[in-house]
Structure 1
Amino acid sequence: MITPWYKQFWPWFLISLPLTVIIGTLVTVALFARNSVHLVAEDYYKKGKGINIDIRRQSMANDLNLSASLSSQNNAIVIHFSKGKLDALPALKATFTHRTLPDRDFTQMLTADASGNYRLFPEAPLKGPWFIELEPFDSSWLLQGRISFPIAQPIALEN
């Protein structure tokens, strides 16, 4: 007496192999759809063309002897800005860009306090590597650098 095929081991074993691959593929696609990583800019050509403009703006900052350093006090980020050849302390546009998490990026306009420092109070404490850009309202020059938070002592922005 021959048993029917659906009661035997080998047909189910052979069916389970491609079925596990299909299920694994669906789980992988679902994970990548929910947790995408933004490492490559979509407008890379425009950003590449903008590098020359940034270099010009950085050299303008060097010509004006501008420099800045960042420190952390309590929940605030303090920017110590040396105005170099500028007549007065300008309002600064501070852009904080996270390396891999674009939803955490933010930009804020800052003005100097009475001691000549700029203070930034982020909504949540900054952790990990950040790319920081400081520029005036008219975008005539640019200071930038990479800093890993939290920071214990002042760190200079280096172009």
Structure 2
Amino acid sequence: MQKPWYKQFWPWFLMLIPFSVVIAMTITLTIASGYGDNPMVVDDYYKKGRGINAQVEKVQAAQALNIEFTFKQTDDAFSLAYTSGKPSQFSALKVNFYHTTLAEKDFTVTLTADAQGVYRGRLPANEEGKWTITITPFDGSWRVTQQVHLPAYRELAIKPLTYGV
């Protein structure tokens, strides 16, 4: 006497293949819908290219002025100080922190110098990973960009490098 179909191996094995595809599709759909559209995609490449050229000119201006900073981090505080190219009058600095992969983590801090010429600011709590720091003066005449890993346990040099544009 033959066993009923539901007690045999082959029908269950053959049904397992389409069911596993349905489960994999559900997992993929859940992951894809959780992240939405990629904000790093640019609609107008021409305008973006012109903007990059303008930023290169600002980096070249920083190179001509020989501007360089030291970046120190202590817990959730950081400091910036000129090591070269120090201006005669300190102006406010705009410091942008761009996360490498998550645009919603990006933030900007505006800093003013203290009596010793050191700029001090605070970082959001528990910000770790690879960041691009961009420093510009209040008038936007030059720009310095550097990629760093936070938390930074040592003093870092931030110089105007054209590849960071």
TM-score, length-scaled by structure 2: 0.81
Q: What count of residue pairs does the alignment treat as equivalent?
A: 158
Alignment of 1:66-145 (within 5 A): 66-82=67-83, 84=85, 86-145=87-146
Which residue identity is paired with 1:41?
Answer: M
**Structure 1: any 5+ residue segments left out of the alignment?**
none
What is the alpha-carbon distance in structure 1 between the residues aligned to residue 86 and residue 71 of structure 2?
A: 20
Which residue identity is paired with 1:42?
Answer: V
- Report the secondary structure of 2:149's partner residue: strand
CA contact (8 A) 1:64 1:86 kept: no
CA deviation profile, 1:14-68 (whole Å, cap 9, x unmatched) = 1221111111121122123224695x72217243332211110011112222211
Structure 1 range deviating more: 144-153 or 114-123: 144-153
What is the alpha-carbon distance in structure 1 between the residues aligned to residue 6 and residue 64 of structure 2?
A: 82
Structure 1 range deviating more: 123-132 or 51-60: 123-132
Which residue identity is paired with 2:50?
Answer: K
- Report the secondary structure of 2:123's partner residue: coil
The answer to whether structure 1 residue 48 and structure 2 residue 46 are counterparts is no
Displacement of 1:115: 1.1
What is the alpha-carbon distance in structure 2 between the residues aligned to residue 127 and residue 41 of structure 1?
A: 20
Alignment of 1:2-13 (within 5 A): 5-6=5-6, 8-13=8-13
Aligned residue in 2 for 1:146: 147
- RMSD, matched Cα: 2.5
What is the alpha-carbon distance in structure 2 between the residues aligned to residue 17 and residue 74 of structure 1?
A: 52
- Report the secondary structure of 1:156's partner residue: strand
Which residue identity is paired with 1:102?
Answer: A
- Report the secondary structure of 1:78's partner residue: strand
Displacement of 1:70: 0.2
Aligned residue in 1 for 2:16: 16
> Identity percentage over the alignment?
37
What is the alpha-carbon distance in structure 2 between the residues aligned to residue 66 and residue 11 of structure 1?
A: 73
